[in-house]
Amino acid sequence: MAEISKPVATWRRIAAAILDFIMVFFGGGYAIGVDRQPDR
């Protein structure tokens, strides 16, 4: 298994990039949302 260095499948690379993109926006939006709660 280690002797064959197969490149990562394209769909896995795309899926990882999309997930990273979503997580960055989710984490940033969550932090901003917690910081800016309206006074109620």
* Conformation bin of residue 37: beta by default, left when phi > 0, alpha when psi is -120 to 50: beta
Q: Which pLDDT value is given to residue 7? A: 73
> Which range marks the domain in which residue 1 is found?
1-40
Could you give the angle at the alpha carbon of 15 between the alpha carbons of 12 and 19, nearest 5°?
140
How many domains are there within the chain? 1
The 10s digit of each residue's pLDDT in 2-31 is 556 667 789 999 999 999 999 999 999 888
Which candidate, 24, 26, 20, places its Cα nearest to that of 34?
A: 26
CA distance linking residue 29 with residue 33, whole number of Å = 6
Which pLDDT value is given to residue 4? 64
